[in-house]
Amino acid sequence: MDTRTQVLFGDKTRHERERDGKTDAEMHRDKGGILSEFGKIICIGVGFLTASKTIANSV
């Protein structure tokens, strides 16, 4: 991260870092992707398929 982004991340996570006793690097590893300002996540999708023994008739 560039210096400006490091300062912003440190300011945003200061309370949690002090409470948990973590460094900036540890916080970024654990939470960087969750915080939208600092992560690179575009989209998360979840789905599932199930098998069925009945077959629908189509006309």
- pLDDT of 41: 60
Averaged in consecutive runs of 10 residues, what is the pLDDT profile of the chain (59 residues)?
A: 83 86 83 69 76 68
41: DSSP letter: -
State the Cα–Cα distance between residues 52 and 58, nearest whole angstrom: 16
- Nearest CA-CA partner of 26 in 13, 37, 41: 13
Distance (Å, rounded) from C-alpha 37 to C-alpha 18? 21
